[in-house]
Amino acid sequence: MPEHRPTTHSGQPEVISERTGPLLTVTLHDPARRNALGLVLFDQLESALEACASLELGELPSVLVLRASGSAFCAGFDLEACVQDAAMLPIFVDRLRRLTARIRALPAVVIAQVQGAALAGGCALVMSCDIVHATTDATFGYPVHRIGVSPAVNLPVLLATAGLGAARRIALSGEIIGAQQAASLGLVQCVHPDEATLHAAVNAVAQSLCAKSPHALRATKDWLNTVDGTASSGRLGRSAARAAHATIDLCRTDESRQLLESFWKQRRSTK
């Protein structure tokens, strides 16, 4: 697969894909906005994953590394767009559901390389990956109740990864936790002191996986998704769509709209 760099109207890509043999690296590349999930970034990330999934079996990458430019992995939805257009928040929730389901179903082993904040939709992206490496300053969580929204769309993979007790705590509290605590809950597999060490470690893991049988890796991932219920036909996988529809209904309430506008005004006033 050649390097894939879709561009925005400004000519700058928000997602960069680079293929080297069996390894595909996909980079969120909007650091000025902390890689917020807006329409352009959703479009470009979906395109990159669709290009990967549509390849012939012998051409599929064995490993996909999902990483980001800048100080944050992904700070969640583009809330400014949601404030400007009330239709955006429900759209973003549905697109997040489809995107995370696609990540989980990819035949490639997906490694998340996380620095800084991975919050709300950003946390959902990370939790949908197979292996997570993070720096000590990385943070995770779903602080979305403050805008009248539920993190339910990501609960299936959160339940499968952390178990019911930890999933309840994280989803209901909305608290933001650090990398070490996330590791203790099973959400992160390895924590590294800095970005250079993180990059080297992820590269080493990716190269090790690339040296293994791609057919065996795909079969193993498929069975893991079947066993933990996150496959599209599984108990947890089937519940994701229902959770998304319920969350979309919340997004359309007056309460959610008022909380979002209030949060955005307060955020703007502190800048």
Give the CATH number, domain containing residue 215.
Answer: 3.90.226.10
Residue with tokens 């959160």: 158
Strands 109-114, 131-135: pairing kind: parallel
* 200-254 pLDDT per residue, tens: 999 999 999 999 999 999 999 999 999 999 998 888 888 888 888 899 999 999 9
8 domain residue, yes or no: no
Q: Does residue 28 come out as left (phi exceeding 0), alpha (psi in the -120 to 50 range) or beta? A: beta
Q: Letter for the amino acid at 240?
A: A
Tokens representing 211?
Answer: 């040296």
186: how many CB neighbours lie within 10 A of its CB?
A: 12
Q: What is the mean pLDDT of residues 192-196?
A: 98
Q: Which two tokens stand for residue 71?
A: 């100080």
> Cβ distance 127 to 187 under 8 Å?
yes
Q: What does the pLDDT look like over 59-74, one tens digit per residue?
A: 889 999 999 999 999 9
- The reply to whether 175 falls in a domain is yes
Query: Is 202 inside any structural domain?
Result: no
57 has pLDDT over 80 = no
Task: Tell me how crowded residue 197 is: count the other CB atoms within 10 A of its CB.
Answer: 15
3 in a structural domain: no
- Amino acid 250 reads L
DSSP 113-143: EE-SEEETHHHHHHHTSSEEEEETT-EEE--
Q: What is the phi/psi pair of residue 139, to 5°?
A: -130, 150
Number of domains comprising the chain: 1
Residue written as tokens 């960069």? 16
Q: What is the C-alpha separation between 240 and 158, in angstroms, rounded?
A: 11
Torsion angle of alpha carbons 45, 50, 56, 57, nearest 10°? Answer: 70
Backbone angles phi, psi at 166, to 5 degrees: -65, -40
Residue 268: per-residue pLDDT: 83
**What's the pLDDT score for residue 56?**
65
Tell me if 84 is assigned to some domain.
yes
Structure confidence by residue, pLDDT tens digits, 122-161: 999 999 999 999 999 999 999 999 999 999 989 999 999 9
What is the pTM assigned to this prediction? 0.92
| pLDDT interval class at 11 (50, 70, 90) | low
Does residue 204 lie within any of the structural domains?
A: no
The confidence score (pLDDT) of residue 6 equals 40
| Percent above pLDDT 90 for the chain | 82
Confidence of residue 271 (pLDDT cuts 50, 70, 90): low
Question: Which stretches within the chain are classed as H helix?
Answer: 39-53, 79-84, 88-105, 121-127, 155-173, 179-184, 195-210, 214-228, 235-251, 254-269
Residue 151 lies in a domain: yes
Residue 239 belongs to domain spanning: 15-194+209-269
Q: Is residue 170 part of a domain?
A: yes
